[in-house]
Amino acid sequence: MPALFLASASPRRRELLTQIGVPFSLLSVSIDETPAVAESPDAYVQRLAREKALAGLALVGDASACVLGADTTVVLDQQILCKPADKADALAMLQALSGREHQVMTAVALASQSDCVVRLVTSRVRFRSIRPDEMEAYWASGEPQDKAGSYAIQGWGAIFVSTLEGSYSGVVGLPLCETAQMLDAYGIGYWTKSSV
């Protein structure tokens, strides 16, 4: 079985891979995450996932290894909502999402010496109306500070979600159904006893 490396600093992606029993090693990669001019959200998230996987592959000495990269973005009215710059930015995002439906796009890339395949999973999330005092309290919790769209569905932000259509794990950061299918195609197992 080829060795798998995860090119991600996200603890949530580590937890999700571990949840389905995938053995992997971690890689630290750094790429420019600035959206290109006129780049669509789906093209953006797929590009970042691919660049992370390929950057990780360049660091691995094992020619038979595979590297998994992923990226998640929140999209409202075709606008990418990145991680908030500060409190005002986070509160503005939460206000924009309040009472509305948005998309969460997660792209997964699996790179090997022979190719790099990318899958895009898009989910639809609807928020209930959020009161201003809730936004303030949520910011004070610290949770929104490093999250795309200023919320975490797997954390306290879950109370804002009235409906979800799509992949819950994809909204968290790694769509497990599609990821397992990709790994299986490369002969990388899941449901193993030993995982990180």
Q: What is the DSSP letter of 158?
A: G
Beta strands in the chain (DSSP E): 4-7, 25-27, 66-76, 79-81, 101-111, 116-127, 161-165
Judge contact between 44 and 80, C-beta under 8 A: yes
In DSSP terms, 7 is beta-bridged to 27
In the residue annotation, 71 being an active-site residue is answered as: yes
Crossing angle for the helix pair 11-19 and 176-185, to the nearest 10 degrees: 70
Catalytic residue among 42, 71, 86, 115: 71
Judge contact between 96 and 74, C-beta under 8 A: no
How far apart, in whole angstroms, are the C-alpha atoms of residue 71 and residue 61? 24
Judge contact between 178 and 108, C-beta under 8 A: yes
Residues classed as catalytic = 71
